[in-house]
Amino acid sequence: MTFNNLYRSTTAMALALSCVATPALAEGEVNILTWEGYADQSFVAQFEQESGCKVTATYVGSNDDFAPKLAAGGGVYDLITPSIDTTKTMIAAGFVEPIDTSKITEWNNIYEKFRTAEGINHDGEVYGVPYAWGAIAFMYRVDKFPEAPTSIADLWDEKVKGKVSLWDDKSAIYVAARLNGDNDIYNLNDEQIERAKQKLIEQKPLVRKYWATAGELVDLYAAGEVWISNTWAGYQSSLIMEKGIEVKEFIPKENAEGWMDSWMVVKDTPNLDCAYKFLNMQSDQAGQCGVANVNGYSAANPVAAKKCMTPEQYDALHQDDPDYLNSLLLWENLEARLEAYTNAWNAVKSAN
């Protein structure tokens, strides 16, 4: 997109100048387990130059990736960015440690809704620094639909057989449940989960592929293999449009989920100093507009965002629109029901 290209070009020039003018500081490191775009060089390179902390990122494609990777060797990582439905699992497993919010300069400017969210608060302590948020919207190729889709049911239409994709994630159960009219999607009983599972199995002959990463979905659209899917709102659509393919996002009449990702400190990290420097960068202008420009996501700190976004971008990302934020079905921790949801999704994928 033009804005993104301009941003990246301007940032590259600034980085080049800073590299000439600023000597490298003492060496340090911070190793992060995160989502694509959250450690993009367009804003991380300057952080490395100014802080002396080398950033190494490993990317996940699903929230289900965090626990196994940490269990296999949590000492490899210093910071993680699970979504709000997964943060309590990280806390309960003892994978993360409390955040000293007095060390986060922009803490009080982050949306109160996020700062006080149950998912990052436990026993009077805070375990996450909210970073980015958005909707799990739906997306379609404009040239393939004479009439714009408006419903989740459009992903179950025989007319798009072989051209449908859903995220390879347990949240597919949420999609099918809403289509079934079961709208309390984070508290489904066994019968409702079974109905959602059967609905997804019914859809399976129409599915080209369940996408695992942002890049994979972009490639599927670019190759003409997928015409309609769900999406991380703002991110994949911009990448597809850059390839000259017109796509549009939409919130279906059955509503959409909302998500919020937070930075969490891995327990007993030896790189705590660099970790906090990184957290401060990510919660201020560089990180907040960095994720907005690279991923197209909304920022958790509207005060910082307003300093570095154009008024048009600020409005487009709903930074001052509490009604939009409150309308989304913000992900919740599934507590004891996690296994039931996960097993149902795995059963869908293994079904013939």
| CA 217 – CA 226 distance, rounded (Å) | 8
Locate the domains of the chain by residue range.
2-133+260-330, 134-257+335-350
Over 60: is that where the pLDDT of 7 sits? no
| CA 157 – CA 160 distance, rounded (Å) | 6
343's tokens? 């097993």
Q: What is the pLDDT of residues 117-151, one digit of tens each?
A: 999 999 999 999 999 999 999 999 999 999 999 99
Where does 2-133+260-330 sit in CATH, by number? 3.40.190.10
Q: Does domain 134-257+335-350 have CATH number 3.50.30.10?
A: no
Over 50: is that where the pLDDT of 8 sits? no
Q: What is the pLDDT of residues 241-259, one digit of tens each?
A: 999 999 999 999 999 999 9
First to last CA, the chain: 40
Question: Averaged over 273-285, what is the pLDDT?
Answer: 98
| CA 178 – CA 151 distance, rounded (Å) | 10
| CA 316 – CA 296 distance, rounded (Å) | 10
2-133+260-330 and 134-257+335-350: identical CATH topology: yes
| CA 102 – CA 75 distance, rounded (Å) | 25
Helix (H) or strand (E) holding 10: helix 2-21
Q: What is the pLDDT of residues 314-346, one digit of tens each?
A: 999 999 998 998 899 999 988 788 899 999 999
% of the chain exceeding 70 in pLDDT: 92
Q: What pLDDT, on the 0 to 100 scale, is given for residue 336?
A: 82
Average pLDDT taken over every residue of the chain: 91
Least-confidence region, from 11-15, 66-70, 102-106, 316-320: 11-15
DSSP letter at 208 equals S
Q: What pLDDT, on the 0 to 100 scale, is given for residue 74?
A: 59
Question: Averaged over 15-21, what is the pLDDT?
Answer: 35
List 136's β-bridge partners, or say none.
232, 257
Question: Averaged over 207-235, what is the pLDDT?
Answer: 96
List 261's β-bridge partners, or say none.
83, 132
| CA 90 – CA 74 distance, rounded (Å) | 11
Model confidence band, residue 22 (pLDDT cutoffs 50, 70, 90): very low
141's tokens? 């190729």
- Range list of β-strands (E), the chain: 28-34, 53-59, 79-80, 96-97, 121-122, 125-126, 129-141, 164-165, 228-232, 247-250, 257-266, 298-299, 329-330
Task: Quote the distance between the C-alpha of residue 325 and its chain's center.
Answer: 15
Model confidence band, residue 205 (pLDDT cutoffs 50, 70, 90): very high
pTM over 0.95: no
Contact 209, 220 (CB under 8 A): yes
Q: Is the dihedral of CA 152, 158, 160, 166 positive or negative?
A: positive
